[in-house]
Chains A and B, each alone.
Chain A
Amino acid sequence: DTAVSQTPKYLVTQMGNDKSIKCEQNLGHDTMYWYKQDSKKFLKIMFSYNNKELIINETVPNRFSPKSPDKAHLNLHINSLELGDSAVYFCASSRTGQGLFFGSGTQLSVL
């Protein structure tokens, strides 16, 4: 009964490919997020989304796009993968204004 689950755990792919990471939360939260953790372990927000608005960190390339089929899911699509996209990507969720609960991460390696 994992609260925030994301798949896959590991993703290894070639430059130029398109890939997706899935995220689901069963906490009944209304807001979901994607964070990127770089090699120095620094967590940086990429997107936040509830059923009313999508907020995009302006530094995120438009090759990255979140897609939410419903309130419990927020998937991350990445087009034309680059070497610099290699990182750990975390999904998270929260009730509006409260703390975030994180998934266990997806380690993306672009070769």
Chain B
Amino acid sequence: EDQVTQSPEALRLQEGESSSLNCSYTVSGLRGLFWYRQDPGKGPEFLFTLYSAGEEKEKERLKATLTKKESFLHITAPKPEDSATYLCAVQLNSGGGADGLTFGKGTHLIIQP
């Protein structure tokens, strides 16, 4: 069965303290891996798409990387406004539901001033 696992479930950092979030996947036929950010009371907000092992994408203090088994979301010198739940999702080559995404359970990130 296809599976997406995120770790840790929750992470508390001091402002400026860099860290990484992990998303491991066991799927057959990965079309793409997606990272989203979700703030309380809002819908997931798209951050990155990664399609092949070795690919990297950056946006401000965030960098996403992909291997054949996992993806990392690196957060460099985070600020309190980076506090959110970060969701990882996979899209399968088979379509997996008309191209729908299968999500992990998320990492709840808190950045303390």
> Which A residues fall within an 8 A CB radius of B?
4, 31, 33, 40-45, 48-50, 53, 55, 57, 90, 92, 94, 96-105
Interface-side segment among B19-27, B59-67, B99-107 = B99-107
Interface pair B44/A99, CB less than 8 Å apart: no
Interface size on B, residues (CB 8 A): 25
Contact A102 B44 (CB under 8 A): yes
B99 touches A96 (CB 8 A): yes
The 8 Å CB contact of A99, one of B32, B42, B102, B103, is B32
Q: Any chain A CB within 8 A of the CB of B34?
A: yes
CB contacts (< 8 Å) of A40 on chain B: these are: 105
A94 and chain B: residue at smallest CB distance:
B99
Contact A55 B42, beta carbon cutoff 8 Å: no
**Known contacts A102-B44, A104-B42, A105-B41; is A45 also within 8 Å of B100 by CB?**
yes
Which 6 pairs show the lowest CB-CB distances between chains A and B?
A: A102-B43, A48-B98, A43-B103, A45-B100, A48-B100, A55-B98
Question: Cβ of A45 and Cβ of B42 under 8 Å apart?
Answer: no
Asked whether A103 lies within 8 Å of B85 as measured between CB atoms, the reply is: no
Contact B44 A45 (CB under 8 A): no
> Cβ of B97: which chain A residues have Cβ within 8 Å of it?
45, 48, 55, 57
Given contact pairs A43-B44, A102-B44, enumerate 20 new A-B contacts (beta carbons under 8 Å). A41-B38, A41-B85, A41-B105, A42-B103, A43-B87, A43-B103, A44-B103, A45-B100, A45-B101, A48-B97, A53-B98, A55-B98, A90-B43, A90-B44, A94-B99, A96-B99, A99-B91, A101-B46, A102-B43, A104-B43
